[in-house]
Amino acid sequence: MILASGQTSGRILELVCPAGSMRALTAAFEAGADCVYVGLKGQTNARNFAGLNFDEKTLAQATQYAHQLGKKVYVAINTYARQRHLDVWYRAIDMAHDAGADALIMADITLLDYARKQYPGLRRHLSVQGAATNPEALRFYQEQYGIVRAVLPRVLSIEQVEQLMEHSPVEIELFGFGSLCVMLEGHCALSSYAAGEAPNLQGVCSPAKAVRWKTTHEGLESRLNGVLVDRFGESESAGYPTICKGRFRVGEDMYYAIEEPTSLNVLALLPKILQLGISAIKIEGRQRSPAYVAQVTQVWRQAIDRCRQAPGSYRVLPLWKNELDKVAEGNQHTFGAYSRPWK
């Protein structure tokens, strides 16, 4: 429901923050997160990084700690299950339920169906990888699999989000800050041509074992399984190599041919987001450090609270921008698809 300018829906805008470890989880809650989203170790989550994520014991500890604080833990079981290994994904759902998770984040309809039948009282959120961008798709997932929330892909303009909100049968969660994907999230196979592995199941577009750095007379080179992704001068900050954010020679020019390294940041859109009645803002970065989680969460906690108190006079403070600049890709921000000034 859209309200008059300067008013908000009165609905609580949850701040949902990433946690790849217990340290990140505690950092998020201490900095003001309402909820965290986590993954289990292995291929059942799309951030399958060595040294990160939770096992059965630590997940139970995490949910117990969160509930003592009056906070929530959402478990991402958001990859697409392998045909001959469904039991692994089913077991992950069982573990999340037994640990006391507040919601599951899923995209695979087989897993959604299993969770609906086995644990009807456990909230189901549609992952961004479900790629639902219209009310009809949301209604299908709600009627068939009982989802109560959907995370929107980062491909819609804010005007399209507004139109969707007028007819959405479920709660809507938006990404607010973090790395961007130029493709439809979770469905890109670009880097697999170089690395030979599926990014969705391996947890990263560029597996660390395939990354090589080498200093040459032309600069610091980054390669992915032998493919030259970028070359950096002495004064340039070297980012982690991914094919979509590499610099390539096109004709006589060398530039970011697909996408520049930049982070999504919609702090300036907060009044509109509150006005639309969005249920949650999501921060990307389960693979990032506890320090990153604390820094970003603190800024967003302050911004949301200030915007709710006085939406008409809300402004993005320079301090907030400076703090987010420090952890943004390429030290720059964008509204992404939310803003399309050329239209």
6 vs 313: CA distance, rounded Å: 9
Please, what CATH class does the domain formed by 14-180+262-338 belong to? alpha beta
45, 202, 316 from 50: Cα distances, Å = 12, 10, 36
pLDDT per residue rounded down to tens, the chain (343 residues): 334 333 434 457 999 999 999 999 999 999 999 999 999 999 999 888 888 999 999 999 999 999 999 999 999 999 999 888 999 999 999 999 999 999 999 999 999 999 999 999 999 999 999 999 999 999 999 999 999 999 999 889 999 999 999 999 999 999 999 887 766 666 677 777 777 776 666 656 777 788 889 999 888 998 988 888 888 888 887 777 788 788 888 888 888 877 777 788 999 999 999 999 999 999 999 989 999 999 999 999 999 999 999 989 999 999 999 999 999 877 777 878 787 665 6
* pTM attached to this predicted model: 0.88
Bridge partner residues of 54 (DSSP): 40
Helix, strand or coil, per DSSP, at residue 296: helix
21, 245, 254, 257, 258 from 251: Cα distances, Å = 45, 18, 8, 11, 15
- Label the pairing between strands 253-256 and 247-250: antiparallel
Q: Which of 289, 286, 272, 280 is nearest to 335 (CA)?
A: 272
CB proximity list for 24: less than 8 A, separation 6 or greater: 18, 36, 286, 288, 289, 290, 293
Q: Where are the domains of the chain?
A: 14-180+262-338, 199-256
341 vs 129: CA distance, rounded Å: 27
